[in-house]
Structure 1
Amino acid sequence: MLSVRAYVPADEARWDAVVAQSRNGTFLHRRAYMDYHSHRYVDASLMVEDDGEPVAVLPANREGDSVASHAGLTYGGLVASRGLRAEATLEAFERIGEHYRGEGIRRFVYKPVPHVFHAAAAEEDLYALHRLGASLVRRDLSSVLSPRERPAMNTMRRRAIARARAAGVAMRVGTDMAPFHALLASVLERHGAVPTHSTAELTLLRSHFPGQIVLHEAHRGDELLAGVVVYDFGHTVHTQYLAASAAGRACGALSLLLAELVGGVYAQRPHFSFGISTEDEGRVLNPGLVAQKESFGARAVVHDRYEWVL
């Protein structure tokens, strides 16, 4: 019989061990990543145990009488060990519901890990949510391609890449987040937005995950023209941030940088994710943004959100 209890800091090593051996966990679920912004959230994470041994973990935070998995992460979800099967997953969710109801929680918002980030099949949680009456309340559209299949880029993208090469644009791995972050902030400011992470936060996270959070830059001489912050999950690579200066846009620097990443650096990976292109909780598709990603050959994968009334 499974049991569920609240996570405490002393569980960090056991929590991370579950994530490392799981079918659907990524380094976003590691406590060193989750806890960088712990001051912003009331933690409500859970350990799922079988006879005292953890078999799954649930990253979560609480706000009033609601719990989300996880408001501070792109996706949360039940991170399941390779041995957790369908019936046990259903039991785990029943125990999770009992635990949260006992804590006065009335609503559970669940963001499952999209399948392209799975190391192995792991959608027992979606079946459990269906059985327990949860409802799909939001769907965002993300764009993903398979570098190993050598996806075809459109003519406009190929011309931009050729223009950047002719202009002498070269790529390299960045060592300082500050110049790229300043460029990113200036680009987002035009759209009335700001980066999710500060320079200090990005620098801290990269220090925790130096081989998995990588800044790739496009330069012409000493001039930074474009940059991409990549989250490398192993089987899937995700572009967390992309930005190009006016000069970079004019010469196609970002196109060349992405082409080199897809066709060179990460050419043997199963999936390369460009992130979502939807706004207003998934109700509005940004046509220019999704077309840019599709021009590299990417196509749609959805990021779902469920609500379980407890």
Structure 2
Amino acid sequence: MLTVRPYVAADEARWDAVVAASRNGTFLHRRAYMDYHADRFTDASLLIEDDGEAVAVLPANRAGDTVSSHAGLTYGGLVASRALRAGRTLEAFERIGAHYRGAGVGRIVYKPVPHVFHAAAAEEDLYALHCVGATLVRRDLSSVLAPVEKPPMSGMRRRAVAKARAAGVTTRTGGDMAPFHALLAEVLRRHDATPTHTCAELQLLRSRFPAQIVLHEAFRGGELLAGAVVYDFGRVVHTQYLAASAAGRACGALSLLLGELVADVYAARQRFSFGISTEDEGRLLNAGLVAQKESFGAHAVVHDRYEWVL
């Protein structure tokens, strides 16, 4: 029989072992990543065990009578080992619901890991959500391409890449995070937004995951024109942040940088994710932003959010 219990700090090694061996976990689910902002969230994570062996984990936090999986992550969801199959997943959701109800929780906001990030098929949780009566409350549109299939860029994008090369733009990897973060903050300020991570947080996370969090930049001489922070999940990579200065936009620096990442640096990867292009809780599509991603050969994948009333 499966049992569910709250995560405690002493479980970190067991938790990370489940994530590492799971079908759908990424380094975002590792405790060293999750806990960088632990002071902002009341942790409500769970371990799911079968006769004392951890077979799944649920990253989660609590605010009032609501548990989210996870409000501080792009996606949370049940991170499952290969031992947790369909029937046991249904049982796990029964135990999870009973545990949270007993703790006075009224609803769960659930953000499953999108299938493109799975190492193997792992959508038993989506079926379990259907069985317990959870409802889809938000859907964002993300853009993903397959570098191994060498998707063609649009003519406009190829011209932008050629323009950047002719202007003397070059690329490099692994520089200081601070100048890029300043550029990113400047770009987002024009849209009344700020980066999700402060510069200090991004530097901390890169120090913890140096092989997985990689900064790529485009320069002309010593001037930073564009940059991309890439989260490397192995078979899949994701552009966590993209930014270009006014001068960079004028000469196509970001087009060159992304073109090289897709066609060269990450050419052997199964998927290259550009992230979402939606606003207003997913109801508004940013047509210009999604068209930019599609010009590299990307197509749509959705990121869903469910509400489970207990």
TM superposition score normalised by structure 2? 0.99
Alignment partners' CA distance in 1, 2:235 and 2:23: 12
Q: Using the TM superposition, give the Cα deviation of residue 156 of structure 1 relative to its aligned residue in structure 2, in angstroms.
A: 0.8
Determine if the alignment matches structure 1 residue 49 to structure 2 residue 59: no
Specify the code of the residue in structure 1 equivalent to 2:117. Answer: F
Q: Which aligned pairs between 1:107-118 and structure 2 lie closer than 5 A?
A: 107-118=107-118
The answer for the alignment partner of 2:264 in structure 1 is: 264
More deviation in 166-175 or 197-206? 166-175
Q: Which aligned pairs between 1:67-106 and structure 2 lie closer than 5 A?
A: 67-106=67-106
Say which SS state the counterpart of residue 67 (structure 1) adopts.
Answer: strand
The answer for the alignment partner of 2:60 in structure 1 is: 60
The answer for the alignment partner of 1:169 in structure 2 is: 169
Q: Using the TM superposition, give the Cα deviation of residue 205 of structure 1 relative to its aligned residue in structure 2, in angstroms.
A: 0.1
Specify the code of the residue in structure 2 equivalent to 1:77. Answer: G
Alignment partners' CA distance in 2, 1:275 and 1:171: 22
Determine if the alignment matches structure 1 residue 204 to structure 2 residue 204: yes
Say which SS state the counterpart of residue 17 (structure 1) adopts.
Answer: helix
The answer for the alignment partner of 2:153 in structure 1 is: 153
Specify the code of the residue in structure 2 equivalent to 1:119. Answer: A
Alignment partners' CA distance in 2, 1:282 and 1:259: 27
Say which SS state the counterpart of residue 96 (structure 2) adopts.
Answer: helix
The CA deviation string for residues 82-119 of structure 1, in whole angstroms up to 9 with x for no partner, is 11100000000000000000000010010000000000
Alignment partners' CA distance in 2, 1:141 and 1:100: 30
Alignment partners' CA distance in 1, 2:204 and 2:220: 28
The answer for the alignment partner of 2:252 in structure 1 is: 252
Task: Give me the identity figure in percent.
Answer: 81
Unaligned runs of 5+ in 1: none
Alignment partners' CA distance in 1, 2:175 and 2:181: 12
Specify the code of the residue in structure 2 equivalent to 1:294. Answer: E
Alignment partners' CA distance in 2, 1:205 and 1:40: 16
Say which SS state the counterpart of residue 140 (structure 1) adopts.
Answer: strand
Specify the code of the residue in structure 1 equivalent to 2:169. Answer: V
The answer for the alignment partner of 2:141 in structure 1 is: 141
The answer for the alignment partner of 1:288 in structure 2 is: 288
Say which SS state the counterpart of residue 300 (structure 1) adopts.
Answer: strand
Alignment partners' CA distance in 2, 1:173 and 1:221: 15
The answer for the alignment partner of 2:191 in structure 1 is: 191
Aligned residues: 310
Q: Using the TM superposition, give the Cα deviation of residue 258 of structure 1 relative to its aligned residue in structure 2, in angstroms.
A: 0.1
Say which SS state the counterpart of residue 99 (structure 2) adopts.
Answer: helix
Determine if the alignment matches structure 1 residue 131 to structure 2 residue 134: no
More deviation in 22-31 or 148-157? 148-157
Say which SS state the counterpart of residue 200 (structure 1) adopts.
Answer: helix
Unaligned runs of 5+ in 2: none
Alignment partners' CA distance in 2, 1:259 and 1:157: 9
The answer for the alignment partner of 1:16 in structure 2 is: 16
Determine if the alignment matches structure 1 residue 179 to structure 2 residue 183: no
The answer for the alignment partner of 1:26 in structure 2 is: 26
Alignment partners' CA distance in 2, 1:16 and 1:7: 12
Alignment partners' CA distance in 1, 2:150 and 2:287: 24
Q: Using the TM superposition, give the Cα deviation of residue 32 of structure 1 relative to its aligned residue in structure 2, in angstroms.
A: 0.2
Alignment partners' CA distance in 2, 1:245 and 1:8: 44
Alignment partners' CA distance in 2, 1:156 and 1:162: 10
Q: Using the TM superposition, give the Cα deviation of residue 299 of structure 1 relative to its aligned residue in structure 2, in angstroms.
A: 0.4
Q: Using the TM superposition, give the Cα deviation of residue 172 of structure 1 relative to its aligned residue in structure 2, in angstroms.
A: 0.4
Alignment partners' CA distance in 1, 2:183 and 2:309: 42
Q: Which segments of structure 1 move beyond 3 Å, counting only runs of 4 or more? A: none
Alignment partners' CA distance in 2, 1:106 and 1:185: 37
The CA deviation string for residues 248-305 of structure 1, in whole angstroms up to 9 with x for no partner, is 1011000000000000000010100000000011010000110110110100000000
TM superposition score normalised by structure 1? 0.99
Specify the code of the residue in structure 2 equivalent to 1:222. Answer: G
The CA deviation string for residues 32-83 of structure 1, in whole angstroms up to 9 with x for no partner, is 0000000000000000000111000000000100000000000000000011
The CA deviation string for residues 116-173 of structure 1, in whole angstroms up to 9 with x for no partner, is 0000000000000101111111100000000011111111101000000111111101
Alignment partners' CA distance in 2, 1:205 and 1:98: 34
Specify the code of the residue in structure 2 equivalent to 1:214. Answer: V
The answer for the alignment partner of 2:222 in structure 1 is: 222
The answer for the alignment partner of 1:300 in structure 2 is: 300
The CA deviation string for residues 228-247 of structure 1, in whole angstroms up to 9 with x for no partner, is 00000001100000000111
Say which SS state the counterpart of residue 77 (structure 1) adopts.
Answer: coil
Say which SS state the counterpart of residue 127 (structure 1) adopts.
Answer: helix
Q: Using the TM superposition, give the Cα deviation of residue 175 of structure 1 relative to its aligned residue in structure 2, in angstroms.
A: 2.3
Say which SS state the counterpart of residue 272 (structure 1) adopts.
Answer: strand
* RMSD of Structure 2 on Structure 1 (CA): 0.5
More deviation in 36-45 or 167-176? 167-176
